[in-house]
Structure 1
Amino acid sequence: MAALFFNPDLQAVRAKLATTEAGQVTAAQRPNPVLQFPLQWTVNPNTGVSPWIVGFALDIPIETAGKRGYRVNEAGHLVTAARLQTANVAWSIRSQLREQLLSLWSTSERFGLLQRQVDLDQKLVTILEKRLAAGYASTWEVNQQRLSLIQDRNELLAVQREMAAAKVRVASVLGLRAEALSNAQLDLTGFSSPVPELPPQGIRRQALLNRADVLEGLAQYEVSQAALQLEVARQYPNLHLGPGYTFDQGAHKVGFDFTGLELPIFNRNEGPIAEARSRRLEAEARVKQLEAKAFAEVDSAVAAYNTTRGMMSQNESQLAVQRRQLRTAQRALELGQDDRMSLTLAEKTELLARLAVLDATVQMQQAVGKIEDAMQRPISGPTVPDSLSEFAK
């Protein structure tokens, strides 16, 4: 909600929508009549006759062949297209925000796991140093573990920098300064929730029926159709009715002119009609391109989701095995059958498996994000809009 309120891109497209809606008022306007007030004075009037010639006349334009209706229809479809463009920008903002929140969540989770890895490596260094002093370890083993500890600390610093950068990017998508999130507590645990099975055919159907860019393309096609109908109607000239009255040197004259009738002799608006027909064909081709793009994105997203789902299952199985081995090592230490170094190594191995699961989870959530982008509809959540047009409100 904050992003949809503060983001400047959405504010700009909403301003454009307001301009388009104002154009709908303009399209519905009827042409105003024109008042003419001729005034003449006769230089040599007849004796006893007023030298003045005074009158007024109206020019009342009348649009024919339903031009106003086609113009209103075109403006209405332009408003629909502008609203769908607003919805498309809104979804783009939502998609960017999800991507950056996922990055913030993954770096936060990785930071905690790497912190634990640093602690375990520090513990291993301490154990090896004691073994070196007792003559049970070599200097090479101690130095290798120290190098591993240095690498872990460098990786931890890199993740910490990435976490700070992710928070800045989140604030940028929200349209806020980074300081606004300094004390904010963001609940991002939803990224660790399991994702349900997704039927590919249902995704393809949603991509066709719900994507704002596809719907906008259809609206633009309707705009081109209304524009073509308007150009066809312009083959028929508008009428100008001119009732009037003239006081002509004492004579009262009432007139009714029928003027301004354009004669379709040299052309019958063939050029603009041909241009409008070509623009309609362009709009039709654009709709087909958008539909093909939507289906391609769906297929790519589903393929990535299925691949990462298999990887996720494999990494979870590996983590389950490592946890069993960790419990075995803990039991062996309690019974005096193994030492603390073996337990620490088992903890580190289990931690590496947790890092692998985290990587697979991030890849799966990225695939879910691509599926949502392909449909332009959230897969799950506390509120799922029935139509993307709700974002345009």
Structure 2
Amino acid sequence: MNSHSLSSPELREFIQARHLKPESPWPPLRWNLDSLTLAAFFFSPDLEAARSKLRTTEGSQITAAQRPNPVLQFPLQWTMNPNAGESPWIVGFALDIPIETAGKRNYRVNEAAHLVTAARLQVANVAWGIRSQLREQLLILWSTSERAGLLQQQVELDQKLVSMLEKRLAAGYASTWEVNQQRLSLIQDRNALLPVQQEMAATKVRVATVLGLRAQALDGAELDLSGFGEPIPELPPQEIRLQALLNRADVLESLAQYEASQAALQLEVARQYPNLHLGPGYTFDQGARKLGFDFTGLELPVFNRNQGPIAEARGRRLEAEARVKKIEAKAFADADGAVAAYDTARGMVLQNEHQLAVQGRQLSFAQRALELGQDDRLALVLAQKAELAARLAMLDATFHVQQAVGKIEDAMQRPVSGVPLSFRPNELAK
């Protein structure tokens, strides 16, 4: 992790291979959510662990397809009292050729194939989780950066107001109470700015952690977070619910796990029928040459017919079925909750848009009144501060909308806008 860097040439090749052409020169001058997501896919230790698990599961698929090897035997005996003229040696060779019956190998291969599919979907699920965490932290970073800028403007306006009121106090046009109240407001604004700046620094560290980098790796990298301030496309609720069912990796993984449990049950049912062992062989028995063809190792299903493992496999299939229903219900609940949160946050945005427009008009009136000599600069600064307060409220509402959009994306496991990144395991492999 210490050697990881956004300027890595291997990262450039990874991004180019995913159809997201990097800017020239490398590294890009600005990193956005999509390019940082690909960087996280390249560096993330969590995704590398999921890839390793997938490779192990793919190895088990090879194991499941293997046929049992024949066993070669060399019987060797020596007769202590052979008959006159006969060889005292009894030598030969024999084969034990196992034959699986009742389609056991096909069921085993089918189960392994579904488990590999589930492991691949788990890789995609981990990848989406990384993208979701990255978006959440970048959203917080965007919000705190914007808020810090607005709060800094508010501090500057309060400083102007304090200076104006102090001059009015000296001229006898303002009271000490008014000046002290404005000084208190200035102190409060400065105190509000400090934790926002601290949160910005902490969020950058969290962004680097999600990327699988050290915080210093982001030094000098300019982050393009302007997308969080752009208009949100229309999000039809029915489409969100449909994508939550058809596109989510955890839903598809649970279905693959169910299919694997069904194949495992069929395998246990097939194990009621014993396998065959063919034993062709040749023996040189004290001068006599003998050919043999035996059936060996035939298990007799007398005391049990594999009822216990069949019952266990049937129980695991029922567990897998219940898990599918549980995850599907969660997907629908996530979609409905995200849509409800989006509608509520969108209503807040509309209210704040109206208030911001009102304050914008009031600011224009104050500027015009100052130009005409109908009002003084103090009234203009107060109008600027009121308009700034409306912009802060609008920022909060936009942040909540973007949070709701993130929940919608998590419900669908699909971005609502931007570059359509692939979450297929072959696209996520290094």
- TM-score tier, shorter chain, comes to over 0.9
Matched-pair contact (CA < 8 Å) for 2:233–2:417 = no
What aligned pairs does 1:40-51 form with structure 2 within 5 A after superposition?
Answer: 40-51=77-88
Name the structure 2 match of 1:202: 239
Q: In the alignment, is residue 288 of structure 1 matched against residue 317 of structure 2? A: no
Matched-pair contact (CA < 8 Å) for 2:41–2:428 = no
One-letter amino acid of the structure 2 residue matched with residue 159 of structure 1: V
Task: Choose from 384, 389, 414 the match for 1:352.
Answer: 389
When residues 204 and 389 of structure 1 are mapped into structure 2, their CA distance, relative to the original with a 3 A threshold, is: farther
Name the structure 2 match of 1:14: 51
Matched-pair contact (CA < 8 Å) for 1:211–1:388 = no
Task: Give the ranges of 4+ consecutive aligned residues of structure 1 lying more than 6 Å apart after TM superposition.
Answer: none
CA RMSD of aligned residues (A): 1.1
Task: Choose from 120, 126, 132 the match for 1:83.
Answer: 120
Name the structure 2 match of 1:186: 223
Q: What SS does the corresponding residue of 2:90 show, helix, strand or coil?
A: strand
When residues 390 and 335 of structure 1 are mapped into structure 2, their CA distance, relative to the original with a 3 A threshold, is: farther
Task: Choose from 322, 328, 340 the match for 2:365.
Answer: 328
Q: How many residues align?
A: 392
Name the structure 2 match of 1:343: 380
Q: In the alignment, is residue 363 of structure 1 matched against residue 391 of structure 2? A: no
One-letter amino acid of the structure 1 residue matched with residue 204 of structure 2: K
When residues 392 and 273 of structure 1 are mapped into structure 2, their CA distance, relative to the original with a 3 A threshold, is: farther
CA offset digits 1:233-286 (Å, max 9, x no partner): 101110000011111111111111111111111111111111111111111111
What aligned pairs does 1:224-373 form with structure 2 within 5 A after superposition?
Answer: 224-373=261-410
Q: In the alignment, is residue 111 of structure 1 matched against residue 111 of structure 2? A: no
Q: What SS does the corresponding residue of 2:418 show, helix, strand or coil?
A: coil
Name the structure 2 match of 1:176: 213
In 2: Cα distance, 1:303 partner to 1:200 partner: 10
Matched-pair contact (CA < 8 Å) for 1:377–1:388 = no
Name the structure 2 match of 1:134: 171
One-letter amino acid of the structure 2 residue matched with residue 141 of structure 1: E
Q: What SS does the corresponding residue of 1:363 show, helix, strand or coil?
A: helix
In 2: Cα distance, 1:392 partner to 1:231 partner: 35
In 2: Cα distance, 1:134 partner to 1:35 partner: 113
Name the structure 1 match of 2:186: 149
In 1: Cα distance, 2:357 partner to 2:233 partner: 21
The range that moved more, 373-382 or 95-104, is 373-382
Cα offset, 1:390, TM superposition: 6.7
Structure 1, gaps ≥5 residues long: none
Matched-pair contact (CA < 8 Å) for 1:192–1:361 = yes
Matched-pair contact (CA < 8 Å) for 1:301–1:367 = yes
In 2: Cα distance, 1:5 partner to 1:303 partner: 34
Cα offset, 1:382, TM superposition: 2.4
In 2: Cα distance, 1:297 partner to 1:208 partner: 11
One-letter amino acid of the structure 2 residue matched with residue 22 of structure 1: G
Name the structure 2 match of 1:375: 412
Name the structure 1 match of 2:67: 30
Q: In the alignment, is residue 61 of structure 1 matched against residue 98 of structure 2? A: yes
Matched-pair contact (CA < 8 Å) for 2:158–2:182 = yes
One-letter amino acid of the structure 1 residue matched with residue 219 of structure 2: S
One-letter amino acid of the structure 1 residue matched with residue 403 of structure 2: Q
Cα offset, 1:392, TM superposition: 4.7
Q: What SS does the corresponding residue of 1:338 show, helix, strand or coil?
A: coil
In 2: Cα distance, 1:57 partner to 1:383 partner: 62
Cα offset, 1:362, TM superposition: 0.2
Identity %: 80
In 1: Cα distance, 2:160 partner to 2:424 partner: 53
The range that moved more, 115-124 or 262-271, is 262-271
Matched-pair contact (CA < 8 Å) for 2:54–2:119 = yes
What is the TM-score when the length of structure 2 is the normalising length? 0.90
The range that moved more, 343-352 or 48-57, is 48-57
What is the TM-score when the length of structure 1 is the normalising length? 0.98
In 1: Cα distance, 2:421 partner to 2:278 partner: 57
CA offset digits 1:37-69 (Å, max 9, x no partner): 111111111122111111110000000111001
In 2: Cα distance, 1:64 partner to 1:196 partner: 58
